[in-house]
Amino acid sequence: MASQQTSAPTVRTTTPTLDEITATVRQFIVRISGRPGIQDDRPLISDGVLDSVAAVQMVDFVERTFSIEVVDEDLELVNFDSVQGLATLVDRKLGTS
């Protein structure tokens, strides 16, 4: 997989809803995977859709886009193996649930 630059995050003034978070994460995953139509619950890493480099890109993307900090305790496969898992992590970190 070729390394891709990510665009600058959008600065938000309101807390996004889970649906907005999911849509943003999905757009990013589609962009880095090159695979449109990825289902929100599809395993991304364990199915080989994304590799470890992409996982690092996902961490960087959500930290910058949503102004959150992903700590060591968050680095579990369940949080990064699907659009749904990553969106849920962001939602939890933002405290919107």
pLDDT in tens, 47-95: 999 999 999 999 999 999 999 999 999 999 999 999 999 999 999 999 9
For position 14, what pLDDT does the model report? Answer: 86
What pTM value is reported for the model?
A: 0.83
- The DSSP 8-state label assigned to residue 37 in this structure reads T
Is 87 within 8 Å of 94 (Cβ atoms)? Answer: no
Give CA angle at 71 (66, 76), nearest 5°.
100
Is 29 within 8 Å of 22 (Cβ atoms)? Answer: no
Helix, strand or coil, per DSSP, at residue 97: coil
Q: Measured between alpha carbons, how far is residue 68 from residues 61, 76, 85 in Å? A: 10, 16, 15
Position 7 pLDDT exceeds 80: no
**What does the block give as tokens for 34?**
């090159």
